[in-house]
Amino acid sequence: MFKDINGIRIAYTDEGEGTPLLFVHGFPLNRATWSKQVAFFKANYRVVAPDLRGLGESASGPGPVSMSRFAEDLHALMQRLSTGPVVLVGHSMGGYVALAFATAYPNALRGLVLVGTKAGKDAPEVAAARRATAEKVRTDGVSTVVDAMAPKMLSASNEDPAMAASVHGFMASSKPDGVMGALWGMADRPDASARLGQIRVPTLVITSADDTVIPPSESAVLAGSIPGAQLRVIPQAGHLVAFERADAFNEALKDWLDSGSAVSGPRGAMSVSHQPG
Ligand code: MLT
């Protein structure tokens, strides 16, 4: 399904009924990475999973896309879909977006699930490397990013060629301008660390033991900085844990949801109005 959001045609999945779970993918990925969560949770929840602008089937605009801009798109999509406050599940870059969302729209959240992500900004050399990569994408296409990143998404011990091919396929379908926009946006993103103590919704941090892209130590810092946050470590999984070890991931998320606070606690104060179309 598609909606025009902030001038961009955004693709999304919206299935099931109940408390809304909003799944936000990482880079350079798309909502297909959440397919095993959609299948599992739609029996008991409303599951919404968009493609961020410029990625997956969503259209792109020119120039950098800040994490705040992605968050604005999510909020506008929620309004268009009349979801009300959501449990926001963000993976990696989707976690950077989730933290921007938590600052901009605290009342639009019931809970936060931060997966394989961190609050810090890029070190100067990392930001410079991202900008150089963006230029390479402009001249050579997305394969430069895909070839570098796809092998890092799964655990080094994963020997499932079909799964590796799926991950490669998710990335290879990304469009150059969307990839460049996200790279520039990540390079410019602010440090969210100082705001973590202000998060007031129930929070679950999930990491994976074999994540070499954003190591578990980052998640431990994140969980330790958010009041009341819980930390779960999924064994034998790499960066794309929700896809690689979907059963363990879904169980961890289900346990936390079943424990209640994000689902049965007071809803945020935001009033989400329905806008047809
Ligand atoms: C992601 O998976 O979203 C990226 O690896 C995040 C990043 O490059 O910082």
Mutational pocket test of ligand 1: of 23, 25, 27, the residue with most ligand atoms within 8 Å of the beta carbon = 27
Closest CA to 91 of 189, 238, 193: 238
Question: How many domains are contained in the chain?
Answer: 1
Q: Does the residue 23 lie in any domain?
A: yes
Cβ < 6 A, ligand 1 pocket? 26-27, 92-93, 186, 213
Q: Residues of 32-46 as b/e, b for ≥16 C-beta within 10 angstroms?
A: bbbbbbbebbbebbb
- Range in 15-19, 57-61, 271-275 with the lowest mean pLDDT: 271-275
Q: Does the residue 271 lie in any domain?
A: no
Q: Does the residue 251 lie in any domain?
A: yes
Q: Does the residue 269 lie in any domain?
A: no
Mutational pocket test of ligand 1: of 93, 117, 125, the residue with most ligand atoms within 8 Å of the beta carbon = 93
Atom of ligand 1 nearest to the CA of 116: 2
CATH code of the domain containing 146: 3.40.50.1820
The verdict on whether omega for the bond into residue 276 sits within 30 degrees of 0, i.e. cis, is no
Residue 178 clears pLDDT 50, i.e. is over it: yes
Distance CA 170, CA 56 (A): 8
Domain that residue 199 falls in = 2-264
**Alpha carbon of 207 to ligand 1 centroid (Å):** 14
User: Hey, whose CA ends up nearest to atom 4 of ligand 1?
Assistant: 27
Residues 30-87: tens digit of each pLDDT? 999 999 999 999 999 999 999 999 999 999 988 999 999 999 999 999 999 999 999 9
Atom of ligand 1 nearest to the CA of 152: 5
Residue 265 forms beta bridges with which residues? none
Higher pLDDT, residue 261 or 146? 146
Does the pTM surpass 0.75? The reply is yes
Q: Does the residue 274 lie in any domain?
A: no
Q: What is the pLDDT of residue 62?
A: 87
Q: What is the pLDDT of residue 152?
A: 96
**Alpha carbon of 274 to ligand 1 centroid (Å):** 33
Q: Does the residue 275 lie in any domain?
A: no
Mean pLDDT calculated for residue range 201-224: 97
Q: What is the pLDDT of residue 264?
A: 62
Residue 156: how many other CB atoms lie within 10 Å: 10
Q: Does the residue 177 lie in any domain?
A: yes
